[in-house]
Amino acid sequence: MSYDIYFLDLKSGQTWEEALEELEEHEGEPPTQSPQWGTIVAQARELFGEVSVTEGPPNWELVHGPTGIQLGHIEGEWSLKVPYWTEGDAAARVLANAFDLAVIVEHATGLRGYDPQLDQPVAELVESRGQAGREVFDTVAQQFRR
């Protein structure tokens, strides 16, 4: 179970739900290269320091071990996953990092980040520095304690 962010090609007048459906229905040849990948990895290393990278077209993955933040470009689809390892202020800090990485992906790819847990674009969540999604992490932590 993870906190997810999807990257979508949101067209004018299209809802997030419609863009998600379009992404799920998309068929085609998986990419053999990811032109933006090198830029994203370099900027992720500036943000986090050490990250592990796996490159095996059509799949590319980046993981920051201490936070568990995972960015994937899997068969043409970009997504970011954050494990529910933390709560409270620690969760807000991890989410702030995740939102910062999402902005890096947005700038490199031209796609728009969407947070389905909060039903909002990442661009509207960045300034919260993770506070916007903190409650989701706290709720999951409470469920695990039961």
Mean pLDDT of the chain: 90
3-class SS shares of the chain: helix, strand, coil, % to 5: 45, 25, 30
Q: Is 122 exposed, middle or buried (0-12, 13-18, 19+ CB in 10 A)?
A: buried
pLDDT in tens, 89-108: 999 999 999 999 999 999 99
- pLDDT surpasses 70 at 66: yes
Write the pLDDT tens digit of every residue in 37-57. 999 999 999 999 999 999 998
Q: How far is Cα 31 from Cα 130, in angstroms, rounded to an integer?
A: 32
Give the predicted TM-score (pTM) of the model.
0.89
